[in-house]
Amino acid sequence: MSSSTAKSPTSFPTPPNYPMPPLSSSPTASPAKAPQTSPTRLAIFASGSGTNFVNLVKATRDGRLPGCEVVVLFSDQPTALCLERAAELDIPAFTLERTDYPNRRAFETAIISQLSPYAPDFIALAGYMRILGCTLLESYPERIVNIHPALLPAFPGAHAIEDAFLARVPETGVTVHFVDAGIDSGPIILQQSLTVDPDWTLEELTTNVHAVEYQLYPAALNKVINRPQQSD
């Protein structure tokens, strides 16, 4: 490992400030309204193409995930397509490479430092291909969520769709769960099953699993973020 100083993160453009809507010109006084709560701030981690990232951004804008805004994307891969998609969607993004840091703690400390200005309430992993360490987990306790393309506890790990295909299971699905120190072992938030057509190719199975992901992830985050407040 080189003893050189860690590289500065690559940053991407921040979105423009949108103008406030004009005040009503009506002379009639409107009844007082209760103050609106600020939207929940969501950071997304991704390592690849970013299709789930794009889906979540769109969900916050089309009403499927109300009361939430995606405030930043982080990627550990500086050439990942998700970074280009973030720019197209006017979402701030930054990237850091693990190889620039002597250990996982230093790497995650740098991530937390870059996240700090965005003050995320939750982190959603969307194809982020690294196991999280205690530094991130302790900084965002029970506030990091992951999506996994199988019905956990079946087929944990990075090749779940292929593993299910090779096992010739009649049913698979998608799981959204909180992240803990294990591998795909945190408390489950939501699951959705998918009946497998025995004639599907691996590509067809993958396409159908992804279609379930795009429905389930916004619904699961909505369940976490917009859960009713319990009265005393």
pLDDT at 226: 83
pLDDT digits 0-9 by tens, 178-188: 999 999 999 99
Domain map of the chain by residue range?
38-148+174-191+212-225
CATH class (in words) of the domain with range 38-148+174-191+212-225: alpha beta
| pLDDT the model gives residue 14 | 38
Residues 6 or more apart from 205 whose CB is under 8 A from it?
161, 164, 165, 172, 196
User: What global pTM score does this model have?
Assistant: 0.82
Joined together, the tokens standing for residue 123 give: 């982190």
Tokens of 91: 């979402």
Instruction: Report the half-sphere exposure of 34 (CA within 13 A, side-chain side).
Output: 2
Active site residue 210: no
Which pLDDT value is given to residue 36?
A: 58
Identify the pLDDT of residue 213: 98
List the strands of the sheet with 68-75, edge to edge: 10-11, 93-95, 68-75, 40-46, 122-125, 144-148, 171-178, 188-195
Contact of 174 with 206, CB cutoff 8 Å: no
> What's the pLDDT at 13?
39
Considering the candidates 148, 159, 177, 210, report the single residue annotated as catalytic. 148
Give the span between the Cα atoms of 59 and 82, in whole angstroms: 16
Residue ranges, the chain, pLDDT below 70: 1-36, 228-232
Phi, psi (degrees; rounded to nearest 5) at 147: -115, 135
At 188-211, the pLDDT tens digits run: 999 999 999 999 999 999 999 999
List, in sequence order, every residue forming a beta bridge with 40; answer none if it has no partner. 68
The token pair that represents 64 in the structure block: 């499927």
